[in-house]
Amino acid sequence: MGEPASSDYQPETGCLSIIVLGASGDLAKKKTFPALFHLHRQAFIESHDVHIFGYARTKMSDDDLRNHLRGYLTPCKGCEETHKEDVSKFLALINYVSGPYDAEEGFLSLDEKISAYEMSKNNNGGSCRRLFYFALPPSVYPPVCKMLKSFCMKKSEGGWARVVVEKPFGKDLNSSEALSKQIGELFDESQIYRIDHYLGKELVQNLLVLRFANRFFMPLWNHDNISNVQIVFKEDFGTEGRGGYFNEYGIIRDILQNHLLQVLCLVAMEKPVSLKPEHIRDEKVKVLQSILPINDDEVVIGQYEGYTDDPTVPKDSNTPTFATLVLRIHNERWEGVPFILKAGKSMKSRKAEIRVQFKDVSADIFKPKSKVRNEFVIRLQPSEAIYMKLTVKEPGLEMKTTQSELDLSYQQRYQDVVIPEAYERLILDTIRGDQQHFVRRDELKVAWEIFTPLLHKIDNNEMRSLPYKPGSRGPEEADKLAEKVGYVQTHGYVWIPPTLSKREMKSMVTRRRKICFTFATSFFLTALSILILH
Ligand SMILES: NC(=O)C1=CN([C@@H]2O[C@H](COP(=O)(O)OP(=O)(O)OC[C@H]3O[C@@H](n4cnc5c(N)ncnc54)[C@H](OP(=O)(O)O)[C@@H]3O)[C@@H](O)[C@H]2O)C=CC1
Ligand SMILES: O=C1O[C@H](COP(=O)(O)O)[C@@H](O)[C@H](O)[C@H]1O
């Protein structure tokens, strides 16, 4: 069965079973089930044709799982009134099956339950669809795939079975390729959805539109005009309860090799032939293939002080919780432009953004006191925004220049819009069969090729993590590296997100209306009294 492109999507009929493997875990409760809840609340998945099955080793009843999840299902803005009812309706759709990941007993009973549900729905016609979501550590992907393939793949006419797998997909090039091979022997590429939730973020999805639907950017988007690009991820908390997992992977495998690299692809790729998933992914692969080997002199890794206090982390751990490194794309558009990727845990603030810094104006006649540059910033989170830093005349009698911005802040511009969570959007894509925002096997392979030599050096202690204070900007050396490769910080300029809230806007409008009303009333009364007096 061919998989439809996004624009070809036709709503399907028939029953849909969503199976969350690892239902007892962290991702399942924090992201997967809440995303399903919101999709259900908005009727993207509906009670009459969907059922959800949780699967894990932990022994619990249906109600135990429902109660475990309840607290994570929070109302969205404006849904508070119906929230209790929405939660009850959603939880009623969930059943739980307990079993091991590498033996048939649990999977046979899972299949029995899914089949019973499908049978109960058969009289509606249509096909049966099975979506398997792996909210599991990658170490158990191979046995789980085998079990699913052997025991849970009953296919009805026109139906489908898809698997969604989480990152990190492997630990380096070899392990990732081995995993891809094992899974590839069991499922077609069109059935495998390698999720990278950054691809589901609103402003990441906006990148192609911004770049290719606006005349502004096209002629400027190249090495003639752009000095450097920074892609930054910061969290203001540490590994918190995930020390065991994190210590095995580190920040490069956790964030840079996947999330930041995917963002880089969308910033740097050429215009795809169309919006078809394969056309987009072809262009992403070309960018990745053009990235030069990472230069050790353009890498700074760090570890926040106190990281090894976590009892699950060895005292002598060299695992980086921070990294800044430079990627260089060897092609006609980007030759000479450093792409600075920076990610850190336990930093001063939580933020993810893309910062495109332009070159200096040539033969500048305004002679500003300090060097200033145009920047185009896309803030992915928090407070989604797109703004452009530019030089303007300072209002007043003097001919002085100052830094200002053209600002599109989503909170202000789209006040009535609730921006969906990345996972909501991506799970919906998997149901619709749209692989545009998922990582293809060859894309993953090149991504690992880029990072594997560096990762091996760090794993072998050939490169040491520098200590940094929790709540800081990370090691000073990282800022020095960014400066060395061309980033110019604008001193004295701070972007202030517009603060006019909807309430303030409303009260302003009401106040204006009141003034108009008072004015109209007094005008009317004056006119009336003049008339009476005459
Ligand atoms: N948590 C997060 O914020 C994010 C997680 N991810 C990815 O999602 C996946 C799941 O992550 P997360 O939920 O945090 O993981 P968990 O450690 O919570 O594991 C999920 C479930 O898998 C089972 N499990 C855990 N360890 C093992 C093991 N060694 N062998 C067999 N089963 C095990 C447990 O269920 P039981 O014992 O009941 O079978 C557990 O409840 C991972 O690939 C992770 O990298 C991606 C982005 C964010
Ligand atoms: O994949 C991961 O992402 C989260 C950060 O996600 P965000 O959407 O809140 O930016 C990170 O905390 C985690 O370590 C990593 O595995």
Task: Output the residue whose Cα is nearest ligand 2's atom 16.
Answer: 254
State the pLDDT at residue 534: 58
d(CA 527, CA 506): 31
State the pLDDT at residue 3: 44
**From 38, 68, 259, 437, the catalytic residue:** 259
What backbone phi and psi angles, to 5 degrees, belong to 486?
125, -5
Strand pairing class (50-56; 94-98): parallel
Look at residue 25 and give its three-state secondary structure. coil
Ligand number nearest CA of 251 is 2
d(CA 500, CA 31): 31
What is the total residue count of the chain? 534
Task: State the burial class of residue 429 (Cβ atoms within 10 Å of its Cβ: 0-12, 13-18, 19+).
Answer: buried
Q: Ligand 1 in contact with 4 (CB < 6 A)?
A: no
Q: Nearest to residue 308, comparing CAs of 359, 239, 358?
A: 239
The tokens 């990278």 sit on which residue? 196
Q: Ligand 1 in contact with 137 (CB < 6 A)?
A: yes
Say if residue 168 is preceded by a cis peptide, omega within 30 of 0. Answer: yes
How many A from CA of 136 to the centre of ligand 1? 4
Q: Name every residue whose Cβ is closer than 8 Å to that of residue 504 and which is 6 or more positions away in sequence.
A: none
**What is the residue-level pLDDT of the chain in tens, covering all 534 positions?**
334 444 455 667 779 999 999 999 999 999 999 999 999 999 999 988 899 999 999 999 999 999 999 999 999 888 888 999 999 999 999 999 999 999 999 999 999 999 999 988 875 556 889 999 999 998 899 999 999 999 998 766 678 999 999 998 999 999 999 999 999 999 999 999 999 999 999 999 999 999 999 999 999 999 999 999 999 999 999 998 888 889 999 999 999 999 999 999 999 999 999 999 999 999 999 999 999 999 999 999 999 999 999 999 999 999 999 999 999 999 999 999 999 999 999 999 999 999 999 999 988 888 877 778 999 999 999 999 999 999 999 999 998 899 999 999 999 999 988 899 999 999 999 999 999 999 999 999 999 999 999 999 999 999 999 999 999 999 999 999 999 999 998 877 776 766 655 555 555 445 545 544 554 555 566 666 666 665
Ligand number nearest CA of 321 is 2
Closest atom of ligand 2 to 380 CA is 10
Q: How remote is the C-alpha of 33 from its chain's centroid?
A: 17
Q: Ligand 1 in contact with 22 (CB < 6 A)?
A: yes
Residue 355: CB atoms within 10 A of its CB come to 18
This model of the complex carries an ipTM of 0.96
Q: Ligand 1 pocket: which of 19, 20, 27, 105 to mutate (most atoms <8 Å of CB)?
A: 27
- Helix H or strand E segment including 276: none
- Rg over alpha carbons for the chain, rounded to the nearest Å, is 27
Q: How many helices (H) and strands (E) does the chain have?
A: 16, 16
Q: Name every residue whose Cβ is closer than 8 Å to that of residue 320 and which is 6 or more positions away in sequence.
A: 250, 251, 252, 301, 302, 303, 458, 465
Task: Output the residue whose Cα is nearest ligand 1's atom 2.
Answer: 27
How many A from CA of 446 to the centre of ligand 1? 26
Global pTM value:
0.90
d(CA 133, CA 423): 12
d(CA 426, CA 403): 38
- Helix H or strand E segment including 321: none
State the pLDDT at residue 2: 39
Q: Ligand 2 in contact with 166 (CB < 6 A)?
A: no
Task: Output the residue whose Cα is nearest ligand 2's atom 12.
Answer: 235
State the pLDDT at residue 4: 43
- Helix H or strand E segment including 386: strand 385-393
Q: Ligand 2 in contact with 196 (CB < 6 A)?
A: no
Strand pairing class (322-328; 299-304): antiparallel
Sheet holding 322-328, edge to edge: 401-409, 385-393, 375-381, 351-358, 226-234, 338-344, 322-328, 299-304, 466-468
d(CA 381, CA 204): 10
The tokens 């190249």 sit on which residue? 222
What b/e readout covers 489-520, taking b as 16+ CB neighbours within 10 angstroms? ebeeeeeeeeeeeeeeeeeeeeeeeeeeeeee
Q: Ligand 1 in contact with 138 (CB < 6 A)?
A: yes
State the pLDDT at residue 506: 58
Q: Name every residue whose Cβ is closer than 8 Å to that of residue 489 and which is 6 or more positions away in sequence.
A: 483
Residues facing residue 164 across a β-bridge: 133, 193
Look at residue 82 and give its three-state secondary structure. coil
Q: Are 289 and 491 in contact (CB under 8 A)?
A: no
Q: Ligand 1 pocket: which of 21, 136, 164 to mutate (most atoms <8 Å of CB)?
A: 136
Q: Ligand 2 in contact with 254 (CB < 6 A)?
A: yes
Look at residue 264 and give its three-state secondary structure. helix
Closest atom of ligand 2 to 352 CA is 10
How many A from CA of 257 to the centre of ligand 2? 13
State the pLDDT at residue 110: 96
Q: Ligand 1 in contact with 101 (CB < 6 A)?
A: yes
Task: Output the residue whose Cα is nearest ligand 1's atom 39.
Answer: 57
Residues facing residue 468 across a β-bridge: 304
Q: How remote is the C-alpha of 298 from its chain's centroid?
A: 26
Q: How remote is the C-alpha of 11 from its chain's centroid?
A: 25
Q: Which two tokens stand for residue 522?
A: 């007094």
Catalytic residue flag (residue 197): no
d(CA 224, CA 335): 9
Q: How remote is the C-alpha of 502 from its chain's centroid?
A: 26
The tokens 């900007």 sit on which residue? 473
State the pLDDT at residue 124: 55
Q: Ligand 1 in contact with 56 (CB < 6 A)?
A: yes
State the pLDDT at residue 184: 93
Q: Nearest to residue 390, comparing CAs of 377, 406, 379, 378?
A: 406
How many A from CA of 421 to the centre of ligand 2? 13
